[in-house]
Amino acid sequence: MTVTRQDVQAAAQRIEGRVRRTPLWRASADDSLRLKLEHLQHCGVFKTRGAFNRQLAGVEAGEITEAGIAVASGGNAGLAQAFAARELGLRATVFVPESAPQVKVDRIAAYGAEVRRVGSEFAESYRASVDFAEQSGAVLAHAYDQVEVAAGAGTLAEEILEDEPSIDTIIVAVGGGGLFAGVAASALGRARVVAVEPERCPTLHRAMEAGGPIDVSVSGVAADSLGARRLGDLAFAAVEAEAPVPVLVTDDEIVAARTALWDEFRVPSEHGAAAAYAALHSGRYVPQSGERVAVVVCGANTDAATLASRSAS
């Protein structure tokens, strides 16, 4: 199972008019750094792209019934699927772990979805969503390891390379790997991909070491959005097609990058969304002379008061 650029291009056509084309913002005087401001997407997160693509494809195929869709999520995928379902007039049931931030849970419910808290982490919520889908007839929408979902996410890379074809490198954060898989499919042969993970959620690193996805322990400041216990098969297929530059960052480096995004650019981000920028800010990834880099800032579902208080201090 793989994601291709053709899948990404088909997704771009399918979701056109449903999602925002987010800015590719020049962040350095020498034009060597650009930020893909995906935090400005509907729901404040890139996952809205994949949610619309998954649901629209299901509607086209006659797959989705009155039972609607079911999804497990640490928060952001649930937000996106709930929003897309509301816009398309579909029912959504979202399973979240007990650790899911309340700000995300409240927004999911506000979009009209039924929210069920199950388990302490994503893996337990996912098992509950699979059981529910089998019993109810709802269609399962995976948070990251589904071709339609990953291809939808990859449409942001299409936009990056359309807006600035000279970009050499796209830096993305990795949890379960749906965004990475989609971006890698879009960028294959056109730009390298740097895949950034928190040290305490190293699914891609462990998969690369083991020769395939394996379960890992996950924790830390970014676990709510990057805390999948296992890298998806689509992401590992992308690794096999063309290995990314893997980078690990610490929780302290993620926190510092989140603060820097706000202090330097007034870009609000949740911790998982700041992980990609942390690779640059910490010096864990140092671009070569003349290398042109795009960093995906992919989520803004956070408490802005924590940014203001940290900045003021």
* The 3-state secondary structure of 216-282, one letter per residue: CCCCCCCHHHHCCCCCCHHHHHHHHHCCCEEEEECHHHHHHHHHHHHHHHCCCCCHHHHHHHHHHHC
Nearest to 252 by CA among 180, 199, 210, 307: 199
CA 15 to chain centre: 17
Q: How far, CA to CA in Å, does 275 sit from each of 97, 175, 197?
A: 22, 10, 7
Nearest to 223 by CA among 268, 270, 261: 270
Q: What is the pLDDT of residue 133?
A: 96
pLDDT higher than 50, residue 311: no
| pLDDT tier for residue 123 given thresholds of 50, 70 and 90 | confident
Query: Please, what's the b/e burial string for 37-66 (b: 16 or more CB within 10 A of its CB; e: otherwise)?
Result: bbbebbbbbbbbbbbbbbbbbbeeeeebee
**Tokens 């999520």, residue located:** 73
pLDDT higher than 60, residue 107: yes
pLDDT higher than 80, residue 303: no
Q: What is the pLDDT of residue 75?
A: 77
Residue 276 in contact with residue 17, Cβ under 8 Å? Answer: no
- Positive/negative CA dihedral, 198, 199, 204, 205: positive
Q: Please state the rounded mean pLDDT for residues 192-199.
A: 98
Distance CA 286, CA 284 (A): 6
Q: What is the pLDDT of residues 45-57, one digit of tens each?
A: 999 999 999 999 9
DSSP bridge pairs for 245: 194
pTM: 0.93
> What backbone torsions phi and psi does residue 219 show, to the nearest 5 degrees?
-165, -175
Length of the chain: 313
